Structure 1
Amino acid sequence: MNDFNGLGCNMGNLFRLSNARTRSISPENFTGEKGGGGRAEDGTGAIHARGLGIGWKVSPSIRIEPGETRCLADIEGPGAIQQIWMTPANAQWRDLILRIFWDEQEQPSVEVPLGDFFACGWNRYAQVSSLAVCVNPGRAFNCYWEMPFCGRARMTLENRSPEQHAILYYQINYVLTPLPEDAAYFHAQFRRNNPLPYKQDHTILDGVSGAGQYVGTYMAWGVNNAGWWGEGEIKFFLDGDTEYPTICGTGTEDYFCGAYNFDSGTVDENFQRSYVEFTTPYAGLPQVIRPDGTYNSQQRFGMYRWHIPDPVRFQADLRVTMQALGWRTERAQRRYLPLQDDIASVAYWYQTLPTQKFPALPDRDTLEII
């Protein structure tokens, strides 16, 4: 009897047979039903397919009107989402809010602006080459977090723009299969401080209740000071920790698996040192937006850290924070400078249900990238 459920696929088990049933949702098959693809008679590509008939790329994308929320997927389980591909057009990425609901919960377990979810928080393309998220030319968003569900999976996208419609091409690949009893549910939550209050930490995640594991962090960090900004420590408060955490990092770039200011240590022809972008399977600094001295004066950074081989496990509750520290200008006995930066983050984790209610997502003006 074949007992492999088809989940957790990797190079070591791809040879194994499974009774799992592969399905895919896209604008060419909105329900993912077997034999349901390529049947559209109308859609965003209909005018280009005129004279060719059904099956000739009649419905490759959807149009989401200003203020509209579209249901991208509504799947009856058990099963698991295994890959998501999306590419938006005609929209600011912070105007598009991705939500995912598990089973019959009214509370979303994922609520994140689209670009931030895919590790591109500044509404500007950056190549990301990691195991969990890939962003490829041009602005192709890919997610490989496996997302199991017992009863139902529902995914929506809201267009918050009051005047611009959005065009979305997407494909959601999933499998229908039994789940192990210990399968937890994928979660992702967005937070932003702009600016971060003086001498306060940025909260990446709080209010988690249940058992699970923390699996990743993305941060979009806009610096409002000159000089290095990443002396702050990440802290994981686990299972009843109050004033002091169980896990405390040594610096921002250290947590994101870099070192020494993300600086190569070499100088260019103008005798200037610089940040070095990198993107690897588990961690990266894929985006550095450098000031031009006139209108784009703030330095902006995008960083990710995936805890795939080293998930942070908790049994009852979890809180995650990040300090923002730079340096004061004095040279003798230097002191840290608490920063008041624009910091946005996405926390990724798995946990048991129910999902606790998230803090209200900021309104469109508060989310805006200036």
Structure 2
Amino acid sequence: MRTPFRAVSAVAVVLVVFGIQARGEPAGPLAHLARVRPGRSARVSSAAPTRSSNWDNRRIEPGARHVLAEIEGPATIQHIWMTFPVPEPSWLGRDGNANHSELVLRMYWDGAEKPAVESPVGDFFAAGFGQRAEVRSMPVQVEGGDAYNSFWPMPFLKSARIEIDNQSEKPLGSFYYHVDYVNEESLPADTPYFCAQYRQEFPTASGRDYLILDAEGRGHYVGTVLSARARSPEWFGEGDEKFTLDGEQNPSIWGTGTEDYVLNAWGMGVGTFPFFGVPILEGEWGMVGWRTTVYRWHVADPIRFQQSLRVEIENAGWISEDELAEGVHRGFVERNDDLATVAFWYQVGQPKRFTELPPATERVLPNLDVIIEGKDLLAGATSEHASLSLQKGYPWTGEGQLFIDNEHGQGAWVEFTLPVEKEELRQLTLRATYSYDFGIYRIALDGEEVRGRTDFYNESVEVRELNLGQRRLSVGDHTLR
């Protein structure tokens, strides 16, 4: 499927039909509300213990763990809500706070030594690579990228323990949370546990499919969050998903492409829906380094297994001809991109440990680039009708971005020197800031226009990567204007 990026403007409307079953009992998604059931609702939260205090948050120091809830069963957790400051410096943290990719969410059921749920907070809530994103799905909802909600039901028989592990070098201040649950009179002995496990490969290995889940036992699979960063040009999303059930030799459920698995078609478009979505899609078609996070919830169509389940996906797609052997078709080949996933499932009994969570320092995407920072660009820059300075701030790497203050308007220009020490085919990427008071510019390399009129206006400050194309530059200095 050849065109991976497209604009999406859609409103998902879910019509709930409240019907009547043959025996006269209510039916439909809200049917449980029409019958009073035994049990008693309760909550554990970060609320201040006294009415006169508004100190309703917690602080988690670097390297520390905080227990959100320890609950006796039988009970069912119905909802978890949490919020915390953005990682950049703000009034809630002069030097910033921990990023949600550095916070690990763990859940333990019925006294188990190993967690049944283990994932970075962001990935659990369908936002990968440390980025924040709004999600509007049925089991997971993130308002404005800030208020994290999980509606996955989580039953247990004897006990539950939920904790956050701050693996950042920065503290997490102003951490608020609710854990809403129901104390049950009883639960069946074969009540399944809610499970979720993060896994990554930076990059994926050749010669085999990427593993999402390797489970043993009886249960059903309910969802996937997948984040990908392209290490090669072109398009990653042709890899098929594969579900191998109960020891069969070959997968009996075999898909037709990554974008098809997440219920898109002919590429992907940003949008979040009840059972599938693309919260993050950044970059431009064909460029190295573009990133996406997608989710697919099997709520309406859980994958049932009786003995075991293995979930895999191919890392395959289009690739540029310079990376191929002679005679190989570029439309469907193995790639080696960076993939990270969270598998969601329910199973009877404690889950098998099939992977280990890497530390936060290893969950950061490795640098693929030869980077020329703003400070180095400023040293050899020239301009007309524009003043140049180094602007420090959270979104920018190194000592800050090279800020161009256009005092003239149309006709202003600036030139930078790009030193090349080794001749090789490279993709050129300009990491640029978009803002509410920025204008329109053209971009040229060594006198050749590589991007036409490019509008850098945006309602809010946002850093984006612009593809300047793949080029083989000779050794020496080149000029970007």
Q: Same fold (TM over 0.5)?
A: yes
1:228 and 1:261 in contact (8 A); partners too: no
2:231 and 2:288 in contact (8 A); partners too: no
Partner of 2:142: 135
Write out per-residue CA displacement over residues 270-308 of structure 1, whole angstroms, 9 at most, x where no aligned residue.
xxxxxx212111111121122699xx9611101000001
Count, aligned residues: 323
Partner of 2:160: 153
1:199 and 1:339 in contact (8 A); partners too: no
SS in structure 2 of the partner of residue 94 of structure 1? helix
CA distance in 2, matches of 1:120, 1:133: 11
Write out per-residue CA displacement over residues 307-327 of structure 1, whole angstroms, 9 at most, x where no aligned residue.
011100111111111111122
CA distance in 1, matches of 2:285, 2:350: 47
Partner of 1:285: 278
Partner of 1:272: none
The answer to whether residue 308 in structure 2 is matched with residue 301 in structure 1 is: no
Q: Rate the CA distance shift 1:117–1:318 in 2: closer, same or farther, 3 A.
A: same
The answer to whether residue 21 in structure 2 is matched with residue 14 in structure 1 is: no
CA distance in 1, matches of 2:261, 2:253: 11
CA distance in 2, matches of 1:332, 1:63: 55
Partner of 2:352: 356
CA distance in 2, matches of 1:20, 1:258: 41
RMSD: 2.3
Write out per-residue CA displacement over residues 213-263 of structure 1, whole angstroms, 9 at most, x where no aligned residue.
000000111112221211110011111023x2111111001110011112x
CA distance in 2, matches of 1:332, 1:366: 34
Q: Rate the CA distance shift 1:191–1:9 in 2: closer, same or farther, 3 A.
A: farther
Q: 2:201 aligns with which of 184, 193, 205?
A: 193
Q: 1:205 aligns with which of 208, 213, 224?
A: 213
Q: 1:226 aligns with which of 224, 233, 237?
A: 233
Paired AA for residue 270 in structure 2 = E
CA distance in 2, matches of 1:198, 1:358: 20
SS in structure 2 of the partner of residue 320 of structure 1? strand
Q: 1:27 aligns with which of 31, 40, 46?
A: 46
Partner of 1:122: 129
How far did 1:355 drift?
Answer: 2.2
How far did 1:107 drift?
Answer: 1.0
CA distance in 2, matches of 1:328, 1:297: 11
CA distance in 2, matches of 1:291, 1:123: 20
1:291 and 1:298 in contact (8 A); partners too: no
2:232 and 2:320 in contact (8 A); partners too: no
How far did 1:64 drift?
Answer: 0.6
Q: 1:216 aligns with which of 210, 217, 223?
A: 223
CA distance in 2, matches of 1:126, 1:364: 20
SS in structure 1 of the partner of residue 123 of structure 2? helix
CA distance in 1, matches of 2:357, 2:63: 15
Partner of 1:47: none
Partner of 1:250: 256
CA distance in 2, matches of 1:299, 1:212: 35
Between 1 and 2, higher relative CO (CA 8 Å, sep ≥ 6) is seen in 1
Partner of 2:14: none
Write out per-residue CA displacement over residues 39-89 of structure 1, whole angstroms, 9 at most, x where no aligned residue.
x2xxxxxxxxxxxxx414433111011111111100001010000111122
Partner of 1:270: none
Partner of 1:60: 56
Paired AA for residue 58 in structure 1 = N
CA distance in 2, matches of 1:148, 1:203: 27
SS in structure 1 of the partner of residue 357 of structure 2? coil
The answer to whether residue 191 in structure 2 is matched with residue 183 in structure 1 is: yes
How far did 1:179 drift?
Answer: 1.9
CA distance in 2, matches of 1:105, 1:115: 24
SS in structure 2 of the partner of residue 260 of structure 1? coil
In structure 1, stretches of 5+ residues that fail to align are 1-7, 29-37, 41-53, 263-275
- Once the two structures are superposed, the pairs formed by residues 259-270 of structure 1 within 5 Å of their partners are 259-262=265-268
How far did 1:138 drift?
Answer: 4.5
Normalised TM-score (structure 2): 0.64
Partner of 1:265: none
CA distance in 2, matches of 1:212, 1:332: 41
Q: Rate the CA distance shift 1:340–1:71 in 2: closer, same or farther, 3 A.
A: same
1:159 and 1:166 in contact (8 A); partners too: no
Q: Rate the CA distance shift 1:141–1:217 in 2: closer, same or farther, 3 A.
A: same
CA distance in 1, matches of 2:82, 2:223: 20
2:69 and 2:160 in contact (8 A); partners too: yes
Paired AA for residue 250 in structure 1 = T
Q: Rate the CA distance shift 1:57–1:303 in 2: closer, same or farther, 3 A.
A: farther
CA distance in 2, matches of 1:163, 1:138: 20
How far did 1:200 drift?
Answer: 3.0
Q: Rate the CA distance shift 1:334–1:187 in 2: closer, same or farther, 3 A.
A: same
CA distance in 1, matches of 2:365, 2:179: 28
How far did 1:182 drift?
Answer: 4.1
CA distance in 2, matches of 1:226, 1:109: 37
Question: Which region of structure 1 is more displaced relative to structure 2, 334-343 or 318-327?
Answer: 334-343
Partner of 1:43: none
Paired AA for residue 102 in structure 2 = D
